[in-house]
């Protein structure tokens, strides 16, 4: 006779990976939060709907300070889903869980507004939205070509190599590439090149009207870009911690 081991329906448990944005605060926390507010104000919707992991591995804080930081982030609608690199003594019931084993993804770094400012904020590893309105399909090749305009709310995510867009990239759209980004139309949205640590990656666009540009973790928002480059055909590359740009003939 065959015996049924479980009469009740079993619970199905699956493993699945999701992209999240990782913030790495630096002291003093008040100054770092101010820079975070500055980024959020200049790039609308940057944190909207994105899960966040808080990296405190290099942060010398105690439990009280960590709780205060989580409260401050919560007030800014930054949803912390986990804490990475924290000592066991930092955690208490009710806090986001400890996390480890995350793989690198696109980096961002808060730009310096003035040389007299405090040392620049630490890099926050970021990826494109986990639940964008529409994610264009990509294939496992060294490069991909998108033969249609990228509309607002869409994300093209390709960490394996270059992304070429034959059309334009609308405001609110994103291109994330492990290699270089080539836009043969107008770039009004966000372009992130060298997203997994490629400092030699470049961004090329026929007409620059971008909301945000990033290469290997260093980024510029629209307000940081030279006015004489807007509306021009431009290439951008990284030298040290600075994004350089020149017009294309």
Rounded to the nearest 10 degrees, the angle between the axes of helix 29-42 and helix 63-75 is 20
What is the number of structural domains in the chain?
2
**Domain-located, residue 183:** yes
Residue 200's pLDDT is 92
Q: Are residues 61 and 111 in the same domain?
A: yes
Q: Are residues 156 and 105 in the same domain?
A: no
Provide the whole-model pTM: 0.53
- Whichever domain contains 107, its CATH number is 3.30.70
Residue 123's pLDDT is 42
Exposed, middle or buried, 40 (CB in 10 Å: 0-12/13-18/19+)?
Answer: middle
User: How close are the terminal C-alpha atoms of the chain, in Å?
Assistant: 81
Q: Are residues 155 and 195 in the same domain?
A: yes
Q: Are residues 89 and 141 in the same domain?
A: no
Q: Are residues 153 and 98 in the same domain?
A: no
Q: Which helix or strand (DSSP H or E) is residue 59 part of?
A: none
- Whichever domain contains 175, its CATH number is 2.160.20.70
pLDDT mean by block of 10 residues, the chain; 249 residues: 52 61 86 84 68 86 91 89 88 86 50 42 39 43 84 85 93 90 94 87 94 86 86 92 88
Rounded Cα distance between 109 and 95, Å, is 26
Residue 188's pLDDT is 93
Confirm if 107 and 195 have CB atoms less than 8 A apart: yes
**Domain-located, residue 192:** yes
Q: Are residues 98 and 150 in the same domain?
A: no
Range of the domain at 119: 21-125
Rounded Cα distance between 94 and 35, Å, is 27
Among candidates 202, 159, 199, 161, which has minimal Cα distance to 183? 202
């Amino acid at each position: 006779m065959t015996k049924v081991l479980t009469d009740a329906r079993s619970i199905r448990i699956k493993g699945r990976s999701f992209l999240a944005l990782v913030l790495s605060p630096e002291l003093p926390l008040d100054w770092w939060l101010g820079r975070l507010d500055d980024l959020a104000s200049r790039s609308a919707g940057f944190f909207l709907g994105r899960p966040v992991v808080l990296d405190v591995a290099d942060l010398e804080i105690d439990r009280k300070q960590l709780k205060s930081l989580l409260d401050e982030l919560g007030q800014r609608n930054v949803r912390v889903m986990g804490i990475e690199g924290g000592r066991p003594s930092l955690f208490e019931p009710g806090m986001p869980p400890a996390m480890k084993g995350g793989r690198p993804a696109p980096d961002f770094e808060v730009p310096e507004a003035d040389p007299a400012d405090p040392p620049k904020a630490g890099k926050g590893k970021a990826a494109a939205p986990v639940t964008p309105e529409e994610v264009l399909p990509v294939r496992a090749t060294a490069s991909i070509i998108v033969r249609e305009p990228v509309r607002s709310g869409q994300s093209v995510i390709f960490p394996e190599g270059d992304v070429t867009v034959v059309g334009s990239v609308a405001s609110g759209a994103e291109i994330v590439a492990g290699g270089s980004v080539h836009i043969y139309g107008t770039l009004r949205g966000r372009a992130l090149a060298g997203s997994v640590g490629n400092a030699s990656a470049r961004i090329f666009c026929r007409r620059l009207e971008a909301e945000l540009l990033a290469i290997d973790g260093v980024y510029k928002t629209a307000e940081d870009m030279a006015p004489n480059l807007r509306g021009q055909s431009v290439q951008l590359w990284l030298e040290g911690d600075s994004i350089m740009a020149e017009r294309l003939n």
